[in-house]
Structure 1
Amino acid sequence: MTAGEPTPQNSASQHAQTKNSGVGTATEPGSALSENTLDALLCFDVYAASRALTRAYRPLLEPLGLTYPQFLVMQSLWETEALALPEQFTPPTVGALGERLALDSGTLSPLLKRLEAAGLVVRERSRQDEREVAVLLTTLGRELRAQASHVPAEITRLVALTERERLTLQATLRRMRRNVEQTGE
């Protein structure tokens, strides 16, 4: 056998993967196709994990009347309100909420419109600057927080990572996002 040639054991393993999935997986180091397969694409693993997580949220959020993106908006609003001192609370603007959630206004505005139609939030123009629109929770929106309080713990249970693994993964993903955003500017 020459260097880079698959061993019989690896070849059998690859054949089993190919046979079981119906798709070839040439990801061995030195393989000409190793960088051109789904198995080699980091973006595919991130995408597939994100889709799996979003699917896991669905049965938890449906009874609350929320989609996953709507839950993220509500979670951000609940955090903002909970962390602020009542006398110093300033509701987030649509722009600030978009930055926090990494959503553009074309995506965020329809989400807010649906949350407003459901009676969970209200949008108010700033009296100081009419270009700014604040997003405030309604009483119903605040009450929903208690009903949704089990969701993060249930997702943590399903993901089944240790606290250390979770923190490491989050740090890595955040660094990756920063790197990509800096390079893409």
Structure 2
Amino acid sequence: MARQSYPGGMTTEVPQDAAAQDAEWLRLDRQICFSLHAASRAFNGVYRAVLEELGLTYPQYLVMLVLWEHGETPVKKLGEHLRLDSGTLSPLLKRLEAAGLVHRERSTRDERSVVVRPTEQGGALRARALRVPRRIAAATGLTPEEIRDLRTLLDRLTTALDTAAREGVPDRG
């Protein structure tokens, strides 16, 4: 038997033969994707509570973050920032427009393009949203340095996974 370390400091005894080691990789607690999924769901729960007072869902909040940062933005560019396709983005924008937070219109430079901008009400919501990042950071229980380091690792992971999806998944077996 060998000792196997897991993120978070947990260790277990692991059989040393290759078949048993391969089987260990199929354990749910060994799946990075599940750890990320569980963390994402936990984040969603915290964001749901924090954003409720703003009247936004998490995806709507992300749209507003991009618009507060960049101002008027083509829908295509908004989708690139958020990694969302137009089929997902369009209903979000319709709900935000119905709530009076954004305005959509055809671009005067390219009629095929739709641009989105925050309304006066949407711009005013930014001041109320300023507390959100601090509240979320506090909820994580991480230090600012740990949050920065985690973001750096997640950005590297995202880049590597995007490359693997584009170029093929390497086989390390």
Q: Same fold (TM over 0.5)?
A: yes
Q: Which residue of 1 aligns with 2:8?
A: none
State the distance in 2 between where 1:110 and 1:168 align: 34
Change over 3 Å in CA distance of 1:139–1:29 after alignment to 2? farther
Q: Which residue of 1 aligns with 2:48?
A: 58
Contact 1:123 1:136 in 2 (8 A): yes
Change over 3 Å in CA distance of 1:154–1:29 after alignment to 2? farther
What is the number of residues matched between the two proteins? 156
State the distance in 2 between where 1:173 and 1:133 align: 31
State the distance in 2 between where 1:29 and 1:67 align: 46
Of 119, 139, 148, the residue aligned with 2:100 is: 119
Report deviation, 1:28. 3.3
TM-score (norm. length: structure 2): 0.84
Superimposed CA distance per residue, residues 94-133 of structure 1 (whole angstroms, 9 cap, x where no aligned partner): 0111111111111111100100010000111111211111
Aligned CA-pair RMSD: 2.0
Change over 3 Å in CA distance of 1:162–1:39 after alignment to 2? same
Task: Please identify the structure whose Cα radius of gyration is greater.
Answer: 1
Moved beyond 2 Å, runs of 4+: 26-33
State the distance in 2 between where 1:172 and 1:109 align: 31
The aligned amino acid for 2:61 is F
Change over 3 Å in CA distance of 1:35–1:73 after alignment to 2? same
Of 143, 147, 153, the residue aligned with 1:166 is: 147
Instruction: Give 3-state SS (helix, strand or coil) of 2:103's partner.
Output: strand
Residue 75 (str. 1) matches residue 65 (str. 2): yes
Residue 36 (str. 1) matches residue 22 (str. 2): no
The structure carrying a bigger strand percent of its residues is: 2
Provide the identity percentage: 49
TM-score (norm. length: structure 1): 0.78
